[in-house]
């Protein structure tokens, strides 16, 4: 008997569904995988040997490629992962060969407010606890690889401070002359730890390290996570890790991990992590989980390798991009697809009546506090006004030449008149619109949604990038700001302006993609500006360089690469049954 999602928590539903999970061997057999292509981690989680799979199936045509994105969300999130799992289950109910490809959750949100991003209700990825708490160790490998680079950098700075050139030469080292105030790298940890945003290291004597200001960022913002997302194979990963810029010397020349001779050891930590992980929906469809960068501070995509594998082993691959179409989809469109050379057939834009009301004038919901009473009452006017945000995102998807499908992610309090308003305005904007009740009814509730996606995938599209790589960086930033966010223009701090000039003069930078850092809670840089803000300028306060990933990273507004933990985090409600060892409370 399936548990009622209106009466049971997501973790309780997942725990109940896990009693009837398929083993990884059953999933592999269904997908036509060979024995040596499966790398089991127990009975219900496995890694896939991507090289063997892609080599064996290199001549097989790719399946249909579907990206799931969303309108600008409220701080509560609008169920994008839930919709991705619901679509996979709905396509499964239509007897389609389908695989999901989603990101691995970070421990930061899992232990904070947002939760693990496994989906919800009767549309989830399971087993929930392994999915949410480390999985097969990929993020741990990223932390070790990244922090090893920082160990190499700081120890080198200490040795150069304490030894003469002759003494360094005896140790087979050359002086890199690293500028202590031009260190780009920092440390990473997979939690939201605001106390570590700005730190001082190396306190004590000369044997205790080089004293300087330093920082921590969340693990999913690491350049190595970005590299895992876009690398095509181990050779590509190895080359990219060697190009990571950790600092600049006193002549303003980049110092890389290769200069520190640590790039090979960093890659050694990633050898297993490059193989994607396989789990399943609660209805038994396979789900590939690989890489986990946020979209507001990073690329926001599961891996290219995961998509390439999924497109070979199934007729439909449902992947997901972080946050709204201005953030995750823009990076899917102009970064991920550029690096993978894969062309999507359809993009789903998830919308909720709740978020549309928020964009139409309702009070902004606050995580951890009761939902404002206004959301419990019908208000078609708020929904209609909020649809301007939805229409903006539809237009963004259409600029990419991709067929849009709007999924109304139904909540049980939504009214018929509110849903009709979304259908009318979404269809008038040129999108297919489907109501889906997968949260409450699983795959059976997602049949209309699945049918709309199948229809959209059969229709021809004209995929094209927003910019080509020979477009100057300043013009790219302006295009994204104006054409995707709706800004009037762009402004720069003096520091960002100096970096922009230097980067535009660097031939290598002209071949790098542009990965914007911006809040996900508004089309603008200001989280409280809802709907489609008008008359504003995008402020760029810094521009980072991720040469390994191949990104130039403009930072807009006051967003931080290390989120903070709230006053009522999820970890207060997570515990372990000491008799069975089962984790409870993860959502």
Contact 379, 413 (CB under 8 A): no
Catalytic residues: 80, 82, 103, 114, 295, 323, 411, 439
The answer to whether 463 and 346 are in contact (CB under 8 A) is: no
Furthest-apart CA atoms within the chain: distance in Å: 80
Q: How far is 442 from 530, CA to CA, in rounded Å? A: 31
What is the per-residue pLDDT across 461-515, written as a single tens digit (0 to 9) for each? 999 999 999 999 999 999 999 999 999 999 999 999 999 998 999 888 778 999 9
Q: Report yes or no: 229 and 304 within 8 Å, Cβ to Cβ.
A: yes
Measured between alpha carbons, how far is 121 from 436 in angstroms, rounded to an integer?
13
Name residue, tokens 């050359």: 174
Prediction pTM value: 0.95
Q: In this predicted structure, what is the pLDDT of residue 316?
A: 98
Q: What is the pLDDT of residues 252-308, one digit of tens each?
A: 999 999 999 999 999 999 999 999 999 999 999 999 999 999 888 889 999 999 999
Rounded to a whole number of angstroms, the distance between the first and last alpha carbons of the chain is 21
The number of angstroms, rounded, from the C-alpha of 465 to the middle of its chain's C-alpha atoms is: 20
Sorted by where each starts, the structural domains of the chain and their CATH numbers stand as 10-136+273-458 (3.40.50.300), 138-268 (3.30.1510.10), 473-556 (3.10.410.10)
* Percent residues over pLDDT 70 in the chain: 100
Taking phi first (over 0 means left), then psi (-120 to 50 degrees means alpha), and beta for anything else, what does residue 271 get? alpha
The strand order across the sheet containing 254-256 reads 178-183, 245-249, 254-256
Residue segments in the chain with a per-residue pLDDT below the cut of 50 = none
- For the beta carbon of residue 184, count every other beta carbon within 10 angstroms: 16
Distance CA 559, CA 538 (A): 13
pLDDT at 1: 56
């Amino acid at each position: 008997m399936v548990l009622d999602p209106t009466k049971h928590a997501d973790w309780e539903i997942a725990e109940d569904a896990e009693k009837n999970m398929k083993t990884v061997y059953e999933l592999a057999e269904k997908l036509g995988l060979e024995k040596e292509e499966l790398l089991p981690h127990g009975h219900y989680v496995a890694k896939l040997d991507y090289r063997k799979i892609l080599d064996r199936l290199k001549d097989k045509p790719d399946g249909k490629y579907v990206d799931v994105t969303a309108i600008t969300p409220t701080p509560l999130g609008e169920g994008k992962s839930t919709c991705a799992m619901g679509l996979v289950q709905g396509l499964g109910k239509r007897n389609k060969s389908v695989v999901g490809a989603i990101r691995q959750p970070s421990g930061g949100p899992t232990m904070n407010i947002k939760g693990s991003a496994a989906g919800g209700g009767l549309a989830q990825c399971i087993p929930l606890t392994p999915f949410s708490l480390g999985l097969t160790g990929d993020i741990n490998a990223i932390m070790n690889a990244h922090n090893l680079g920082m160990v190499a950098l700081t120890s080198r700075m200490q040795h150069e401070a304490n030894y003469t050139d002759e003494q360094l030469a005896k140790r087979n080292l050359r002086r890199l002359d690293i500028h202590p105030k031009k260190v780009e790298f920092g440390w990473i940890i997979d939690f939201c730890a605001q106390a570590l945003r700005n730190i001082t290291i190396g306190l004590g004597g000369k044997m205790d390290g080089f004293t300087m200001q330093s920082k921590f960022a969340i693990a999913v913002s690491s350049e190595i996570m970005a590299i895992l997302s876009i690398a095509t194979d181990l050779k590509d990963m190895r080359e990219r890790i060697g190009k990571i810029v950790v600092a600049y010397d006193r002549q303003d020349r980049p110092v890389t991990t290769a200069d520190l001779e640590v790039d090979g050891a960093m890659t050694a930590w990633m050898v297993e992590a490059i193989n994607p992980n396989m789990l399943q929906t609660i209805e038994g469809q396979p789900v590939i989980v690989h890489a986990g960068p946020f979209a507001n501070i990073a690329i926001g995509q599961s891996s290219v390798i995961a998509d390439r594998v999924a497109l070979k082993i199934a007729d439909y691959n449902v992947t997901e991009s972080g946050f709204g179409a201005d953030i995750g989809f823009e990076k899917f469109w102009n970064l991920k697809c550029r690096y993978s050379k894969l062309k999507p057939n359809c993009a789903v834009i998830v919308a909720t009546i709740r978020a549309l009301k928020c964009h139409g004038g309702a009070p902004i919901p606050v995580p951890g506090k009761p939902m404002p009473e206004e959301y419990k009452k019908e208000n078609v006017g708020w929904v209609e006004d909020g649809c301007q945000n939805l229409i903006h995102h539809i237009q963004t998807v259409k600029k990419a030449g991709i067929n849009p499908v709007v999924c109304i992610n139904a909540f049980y309090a939504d009214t018929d008149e509110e849903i009709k308003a979304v259908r009318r305005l979404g269809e008038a904007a040129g999108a297919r619109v489907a109501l889906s009740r997968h949260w409450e009814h699983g795959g059976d509730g997602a049949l209309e949604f699945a049918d709309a996606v199948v229809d959209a995938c059969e229709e021809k599209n004209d995929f094209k990038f927003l910019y080509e790589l020979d477009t100057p960086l300043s013009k790219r930033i302006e295009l994204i700001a104006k054409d995707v966010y709706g800004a009037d223009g762009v402004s720069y701090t003096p520091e960002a302006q100096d970096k922009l000039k230097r980067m535009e003069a660097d031939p290598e930078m002209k071949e790098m993609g542009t990965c914007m850092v911006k809040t996900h809670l508004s089309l603008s840089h200001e989280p409280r500006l809802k709907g489609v803000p008008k008359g504003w300028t995008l402020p760029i306060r810094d521009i980072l360089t991720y040469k390994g990933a191949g990104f130039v990273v403009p930072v807009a507004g006051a967003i931080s690469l290390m989120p903070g933990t709230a006053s009522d985090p999820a970890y207060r409600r997570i515990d372990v049954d000491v008799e069975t060892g089962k984790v409870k409370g993860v959502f």
